[in-house]
Amino acid sequence: MEDSQTSTLSLDLEGELRSYTLPSLLFSISQGSETGVLTLEQLTVSMQQTRKSIYFQEGKLIFATSNDPNDRLGQVFLRSGMVSLDRVLTAVDRSLAEKKRLGTILVEEGWIRPQDLITGVVEQTKEIICSLFAWTEGSYQFQMGPLPTREIITLSISTQNLILEGIQRVHSWYRIHEAIGGLDTRYQTSPGLKRLTEQMDLSLEQWSLLSLCEEPIALRDLCGRSPLKDFDVCRLLWAFLATGILRKVD
């Protein structure tokens, strides 16, 4: 593995996960335009090793894999109602027997269209990555270098959007408070706000919260002035900090 001194990452290339590690990792890899695979591992309650990997091409998220049965592509189509249980199970059997990808089987059988496969893989990739935001322990390793070329579908997903979506799935106040600080902590929008939000899909409420931060403002004042619930304000602040569009000021 490359020595961390040769990387532009602001975090170590490997280490232990903490409650706020993943958003910082994703943002750092994205902003550094790095190419490589970020692999995260965690022991389950039943002492099974769960491993999930995120693929980056020049800082862009293009794919994700997981050994968790709950992350399989067939479940994406089953949950959406696009493919029946009978057809999913039939496709799984064919996939194992013929050593073909499940998505390929579904397209060959005419049960989904090629564009449906792409949509399904995008959703699967997002779900794999967003599920990692629930991890507060485990280990990570970023292996820099050219990616394997055997993947038939590669994607280009906004890292900032995924960080925003992932953090908004977090319901632990302890984790949010740890990331944002106390009531007197002041925030201000980043000088790179325009560039960093180009690929983000922000709602009017989210833009309104950012507008309150054009000048330095304390957390207690943000909670008082925003129509959002205080919990939602604090969680959004963490997401904005993690995506670089907001910064803490003295």
CATH number among 1.10.10, 3.30.160, 3.30.420, 1.10.3470, domain 170-249? 1.10.10
Q: Is the pLDDT of residue 1 over 80?
A: no
According to the model, what pLDDT value does residue 242 have?
Answer: 94
Q: Is the pLDDT of residue 94 over 80?
A: yes
SS3 of residue 243 by DSSP: coil
245: Cβ contacts below 8 Å, ≥ 6 apart:
160, 189, 190, 192, 193, 196, 197, 200, 210
121 burial level (CB within 10 Å; 0-12, 13-18, 19+): buried
Measured CA to CA, the distance from residue 120 to residue 137 in angstroms comes to 29
According to the model, what pLDDT value does residue 154 have?
Answer: 72
237 contacts 187 by C-beta, under 8 angstroms:
yes
According to the model, what pLDDT value does residue 156 have?
Answer: 78
Q: Is the pLDDT of residue 4 over 50?
A: no
Q: Is the pLDDT of residue 235 over 60?
A: yes
What is the chain's mean pLDDT, rounded? Answer: 90
According to the model, what pLDDT value does residue 127 have?
Answer: 94
Q: pLDDT digits over 31-90, tens only?
A: 999 999 999 999 877 778 999 999 999 999 999 999 999 999 999 999 999 999 999 999
Radius of gyration of the chain (CA): 20
Residue-wise DSSP of 103-160: HHHHHHTTSS-HHHHHHHHHHHHHHHHHHGGG--S-EEEEEESPPPS--S----B-HH
249: Cβ contacts below 8 Å, ≥ 6 apart:
186, 187, 188, 216
Measured CA to CA, the distance from residue 2 to residue 10 in angstroms comes to 15
According to the model, what pLDDT value does residue 8 have?
Answer: 55
Confidence grade of residue 108 (pLDDT, cut at 50, 70, 90): very high
Q: pLDDT digits over 188-217, tens only?
A: 999 989 888 988 999 999 999 999 999 999
> Strand 217-218's sheet: what is its strand order?
217-218, 186-189, 246-249
Q: Is the pLDDT of residue 3 over 50?
A: no
Kindly tell me the sign of the dihedral angle through the C-alpha atoms of 25, 28, 31, 32: negative
Q: pLDDT digits over 129-159, tens only?
A: 999 999 999 999 999 998 876 655 677 788 9
Measured CA to CA, the distance from residue 156 to residue 147 in angstroms comes to 15
The domain ranges of the chain are 1-157, 170-249
